[in-house]
Structure 1
């Protein structure tokens, strides 16, 4: 099967995060199964403007991002050449899988798929929900609603996301929705921490306000009071919140215990997870974080918030701790993070939660399980079209 994934952006530091990582993970497994899966996206930030033709073994068709509406950041970039090429490539594809957001890449690509009558699967990654923002509402009116209503299948991560996309598509109910979780490759479980080694606590995600890196840093003094030799690793590309996060560490007097390592490639992500004793993501409204799954895949317990899509699974299995968190600067958030980290640094709790985290990924969130579900969806879509 010839599959064209369309995602908004790929950069050397993986600053766009989840959707691009999901498209890469899916494409790698699909290609190993004999499908011709490839990715189309904008590229930005590459040295000398040299855009790669493959990423992690997956053929990619990248086009230099044009910042048409800089005030809208990622939503305001596009490329006429990409859209022109997309129309041509769709004619030869069996199916187009668009990782949809309100932007000038994936939304036009989805509309082109509808216009060319190419079988279309849409995956929103929690990025399309009801909103009071006028520009987003206009975008829904001009195209998002049509795409959701006419796509052959709409993939959702959680029940909340299914309700959200239905609310955007209203008053027409969506009858072709399919739950598709994110998945990662199974990994060997790491050994238990040597009691003589200082503990390591990891934050690995885009460093932006929504991910709440300030709560991670604000929790440090409480953890250091009991583990003065603990190391805290802040990893991931900066998308706006790094200066204030580092300034907070300086104000709290904990900067010497914080290692800012910047963006990591995929192998480095897994290595960081193995080195960490606890992974922390105090994000507000995280649909189904791939970075959380990658940490658990090596047996690292996690601290996440109740608004994370993985919250119910982590709470049910004991794969970490699920905490409440409030929007805005709040010392209570930091204390909840710290208390959860301290619990998971206790040897018995660490062993139980680490084992549960590793088993949770292997039982419910492997990329093979995900692609099996997706393959059935693809085949149903193509069968309905042929029928």
Structure 2
């Protein structure tokens, strides 16, 4: 089958996060399964010449522009839309990783107008918004996109509920979890120094400042443990820098900055415990990567991966308080045997529940159904 996958924005530091990781993983796995897949996106931060590969996957990038103060919602890539108009009719299905932005919303509108079957994957990004422009955007683009999609793929029951509340008639919903490839990196931290890692955007929802408080609480108990933060600025870099400087433990607590997405697995492989204290996180790819590397993870109970991790005992699921976070990380640091047992469960969960072979089979069934129902041409 010929599939076009569309995601909003690709940058060297992975600023757009999970949707790009999901699109790249799906594209790689679909190509390996023998399908013809074109991954396209807006590109920014690469300079005048945009790369033809990203994280080992062929990609077609178009220079992206951004409206000041609008974040990712203000992103558009006029060259992408022009290219899409010329090729979209050749696709059996179009898979759009949709947000409220001027890359993916116009793409869905074009597919709808030309009667090309399309699938939307919303990654928890389409919820009710109080932003003054959201109502206009939703009436013109979001609601028609949802209502006319052959499938709208959701991650969690909460996302399904949110999507149903937005659209009348109801969209055709189907659950699809994020998947993670089997990692080729070493699963053991060969360093003698124990490390607790936070790898995510420094955004308020990710709660990087709480990770710093965690480090301050644990340092007197575990003076030789290192606490590392890795990720691009998401609005809290200056606060993080100031808090680390004021912590009194900057010799064991540091922010390393952003790294390219294709380096994240190798970086996670060097840690002993992965902590993501964010709230209302639908299905974080960084946690899946940590699981695939056999790393015990600590997440909050508002994370969509919580039930699966609890069921397999592949990590710790805590409430949103600092005390709960401290207790769980303490247990993992204090008991090497327990840490090893959780590590084995993490590997099992990643491979058996979230492996890419399972995800690709699900996608193939979806594409086959929507393309056959489209009956445009053969």
**TM-score where L is the length of structure 2:** 0.95
* Whole-Å separation in 2 of the counterparts to 1:190 and 1:275: 8
Looking at structure 2, the residues matched to 359 and 56 of structure 1 have their Cα atoms a distance apart, in angstroms, of 25
Distance (whole Å) between structure 2 residues aligned to residue 347 and residue 193 of structure 1 = 13
Structure 2 vs 1, CA of residues 226 and 319 (structure 1 numbering), >3 Å: closer, same or farther? same
Residue number in structure 2 paired with 1:173: 170
Question: Which ranges in structure 2 are unaligned for 5 or more consecutive residues?
Answer: none
Contact 1:201–1:277 (8 Å) recurs in 2: yes
Corresponding residue for residue 253 of structure 1: 248
Would the aligned equivalents of 2:11 and 2:46 in 1 still touch at CA under 8 Å? yes
- Equivalence map 1:224-303=2 (5 Å): 224-303=219-298
Question: Which whole-Å deviations, capped at 9, do the CAs of 1:187-209 have from their partners, x for residues lacking one?
Answer: 37966668x93310000111111
Distance 1:266 1:43, change over 3 A: closer
Contact 1:288/1:308 (8 A) holds in 2: yes
Where in structure 2 are the equivalents of 1:362-377 lying within 5 Å?
A: 362-377=351-366
Report if aligned partners of 2:55, 2:261 keep a CA contact under 8 Å in 1. Answer: no
Q: CA deviation at 1:298?
A: 1.1
Q: Which digits, 9 at most, give the CA deviation of each residue in 1:111-133, with x for residues without a partner?
A: 10101111100000000012233
- Gap change, CA 1:192 and 1:65, over 3 Å in 2: closer
Cα-to-partner distance string for 1:306-361 (whole Å, 9 max, x where unaligned):
11110111122211111111xxxxxxx33322221111112122012111111111
Change (3 A) 1:103 1:192: closer
Q: For 1:267 and 1:88, locate their aligned partners in 2 and report how far apart those are by CA, in whole Å.
A: 31
1:329 corresponds in structure 2 to none
What residue ranges of structure 1 are gaps of 5+ in the alignment?
326-332
Out of 365, 368, 372, the residue aligned to residue 383 of structure 1 is: 372
Q: Report how far residue 57 of structure 1 moved.
A: 3.7
CA distance in structure 2 between the partners assigned to 1:384 and 1:309 by the alignment: 31
Asked whether the equivalents of residues 93 and 367 of structure 2 are also in contact (C-alpha less than 8 Å), the reply is yes
Instruction: Name the counterpart of 2:308.
Output: 313
1:165 deviates by 0.9
SS in 2 for 1:262: coil
Aligned residues: 375
Specify the alignment match of 1:338 in structure 2: 326
In structure 1, distance between residues paired with 2:185 and 2:336? 16
Deviates more, 1:103-112 or 1:234-243: 234-243
Mapped to 1, the partners of 2:220 and 2:101 lie a distance apart of 46
**Divergent runs of 4+, >4 A:** 188-194
Most deviating of 225-234 and 55-64: 55-64
CA distance in 1, matches of 2:122, 2:114: 21
TM-score under structure 1 length normalisation: 0.93
* Structure 1 stretch displaced more, 52-61 or 29-38: 52-61
- Structure 1 residue 380: Cα displacement: 0.8
Aligned residues of 1:232 and 1:258 also touching (Cα < 8 A): yes
Query: Which residue matches 1:137?
Result: 135
Cα distance in structure 2, aligned partners of 1:89 and 1:58: 20
Residue 146 (structure 2) aligns with? 148
- Partner residue in 2 for 1:328: none
Structure 1 residue 63 and structure 2 residue 59: aligned?
no
What is the CA deviation profile of residues 290-313 of structure 1, one whole-angstrom value per residue up to 9, with x for unaligned ones? 100000111101010111110111
Asked if structure 2 preserves the Cα contact closer than 8 Å seen for 1:87 and 1:116, the reply is: no
Deviation at 1:266?
Answer: 4.3
What SS is found at the alignment partner of 1:280? strand
Q: Deviations over 1:192-237 (max 9, x none)?
A: 668x933100001111111111111110122111110111111111
Distance 2:245 2:144 in 1: 49
| Correspondence list, 1:72-83, <5 A | 72-83=70-81
Instruction: Return the alpha-carbon distance in structure 2 between the equivalents of residues 375 and 106 of structure 1.
Output: 22
8 Å CA contact 2:189, 2:271 repeated in 1: no
Contact 1:246 1:255 in 2 (8 A): no
